[in-house]
Amino acid sequence: MLSTALRRLSAPICSLILVLTAWFTFFGAPGRGPGAYSTLAFAAPASPPLAPAVAPVLYPASPSQGDTLFVVSRAPGELRCAWDGRSIPVMVSGGVQMATIGIGVDERTGAHTLTFKTISADGTVRSESRTVTVRRTAWPVQYLKMKRSTERLYTFPGAKAEDAAVTTATRTFSPATLWQGPFLLPTNGRRSTPFGVKRIRNGRKPYYHRGVDLAAPTGTPVVAPNAGKVALARVFKKYGKTVVLDHGLGVTTLYLHMSALAVREGETVQRGQLIGKVGMEGVATGPHLHWSLYVHGNSVSPLFWTRLPASVTGGVRT
Ligand SMILES: [Zn+2]
């Protein structure tokens, strides 16, 4: 613990000594002649100078369940990244290297290990491990009463095939990143059910609501919150008209219960482009859009992606 703290402190202290040394050498200490503090020079290495810091920046530093952890590096050298030993793909865009880690609703709280390696052009490898603490989110509980006839749509014979098609589409992985800047809200609506609510339907086993419900009148436009490719656009019995967008590098979004589709599978969409209309098709108790966001197949809060700071989105461009 102490040695880690000392190691963390040593870089800023060295930098401070360097700055002070430079200041006193060139300008002199206040009230004294130039060079009065030249004995401090022993603290600074003569040559070569200290290499610039290469450690990537984490956002947020201590994520909560449902967040997405961004690892952003603006330093030269190829970045490789692993979360609890599992390799995470790194995107390169506009001089920025970035990896995204989806912290699921039921991700283990407490200490996780994030490992990065930076490989310089001359083959030098720098490795670093950091402990990232995942904080608990107090998910609210919702008791849902549903008509038996509506509930039967969850288990009708084709339900499993529809679920499988949605799951496969949300796990799409494309090596190019298509999204740029913070995500838009796909429709104007009241947030009727938040992300992560623990639902107990008709007294059954609880399950997490892995998306946000935006309640709006039938026919309200639904737009692509960011650029992407249509991975799925189909009419399902359980979910109504359904769209999955692939935003690249393991980031996908899902839209359920729509009354109209405005896109076809394989089509490229721009940020703000119409993709469908709000409805209440499939298992729904009123007109709303169910919106989910997945990071490498992990469902995370989509609203988190509408509030990304420029430090994360700044360098992302196609
Ligand atoms: Zn929903």
Per the structure, the complete domain to which residue 228 belongs is given by 141-308
216 in the same domain as 126 = no
* Tokens standing for residue 302: 């989509």
Q: Which of 115, 138, 161 is the endpoint of a domain?
A: 138
Classify residue 181 by burial, with Cβ atoms within 10 Å: 0-12, 13-18, 19+.
middle
The DSSP output letter for 185 is P
State in Å: Cα 308 to ligand 1 middle.
23
* CATH for 254: 2.70.70.10
State in Å: Cα 193 to ligand 1 middle.
7
Which region among 25-34, 41-50, 120-129, 158-167 has the lowest average model confidence (pLDDT)? 25-34
What would the mean pLDDT of 242-246 be, rounded to a whole number? 98
Q: Which residue has the higher pLDDT, 76 or 226?
A: 226
CB atoms within 10 A of CB 210: 22
* Residue 241 falls inside a structural domain: yes
State in Å: Cα 150 to ligand 1 middle.
15
197 in the same domain as 176 = yes
150 in the same domain as 79 = no
State in Å: Cα 198 to ligand 1 middle.
12
164 in the same domain as 283 = yes
Cα distances from 272 to residues 49, 180, 302, in angstroms, run 48, 12, 16
Quick: pLDDT tens for 62-105. Answer: 999 999 999 999 888 899 999 999 999 998 877 789 999 999 99
Q: Which of 138, 165, 191 is the endpoint of a domain?
A: 138
80 in the same domain as 15 = no
What would the mean pLDDT of 3-32 be, rounded to a whole number? 40
How many structural domains are present in the chain? 3
CB 174 within 8 A of CB 230: no
pLDDT at 318: 40
State in Å: Cα 162 to ligand 1 middle.
16
* Residue 64 falls inside a structural domain: yes
